Amino acid sequence: MLLVAGSAVRGLPVVTVRGGEDVAEVKDIVYQADAGRIEGFTLNKRGLFTGKRREVLPTEQVHAIGADAVMILDEDCLREPGQAPPAVGAPEQKRNVIGNDVLTEGGASLGEVRDVVLLVGSSGEVVGYQIKRPSGEDAYIPLPTQLAISGSALVVPDETEEFTRDDLVGLGAAVEDFRSRHGVR
């Protein structure tokens, strides 16, 4: 399981599988925390005329997210905002999970969300979060079936604490263990 922080996807080129054309650059990730999945991406132009690109990229149009590029079949995969699913074409404002406190059901603070963690090779599967522990160190937790998300807190099962890891490699194994324990594929 190869994992990458969501922030590492920002700035990656969007490249076509058919022809290898570099058609855009990832500007922002549109993440739906309630569902634990990426809905799509906002884009920047590439080349001489850089700046925000009007079109967006819904995840159902993504062939794969790699460590070095986001792959799509062709440029027709990009959508005008009005033609994209509302979650991507007109995303909710102020629903950013970054900065939220992570609390267990029992009220223990695990830290603060710093980033989402994606499975490389998928079309945007979020498998965990990078958090900043109360002690100041970074750590990683698997994405649980979330109990509650507010504008300021993410509540996770008490057992999430035992699956906390210090690096992405450790998180990969923790995700697999966590999923097998809960019967999730």
Beta-strand pair 62-65/22-32: unpaired
65/121 same-domain check: no
> How wide is the angle at C-alpha 10 spanned by C-alphas 5 and 11, nearest 5°?
135
> How wide is the angle at C-alpha 103 spanned by C-alphas 101 and 109, nearest 5°?
80
Cα distances (angstroms) measured from residue 57 to each of 12, 54, 97, 113: 13, 10, 20, 25
> Per the structure, how many domains does the chain have?
2
CATH code of the domain in which 136 resides: 2.30.30
Distance CA 52, CA 43 (A): 6
**What pLDDT is attached to residue 176?**
86
Q: What domain range is 51 assigned to?
A: 3-89
Question: Per the domain annotation, does 94 fall within a domain?
Answer: no
**What pLDDT is attached to residue 17?**
94
pLDDT digit string, tens, across residues 68-96: 999 999 999 999 999 999 888 888 766 67
Specify the residue for token string 């990832």.
26
Q: Phi then psi for 175, rounded to 5 degrees? A: -60, -45
83/142 same-domain check: no
**What pLDDT is attached to residue 134?**
92
In which band, very low, low, confident or very high, does the pLDDT at 179 lie, cut at 50, 70 and 90? confident
pLDDT digit string, tens, across residues 94-131: 667 889 999 999 999 999 999 999 888 877 788 999 99
pLDDT digit string, tens, across residues 15-64: 999 889 999 999 999 988 777 788 999 999 987 777 889 999 999 999 99
105/85 same-domain check: no
69/16 same-domain check: yes
82/135 same-domain check: no
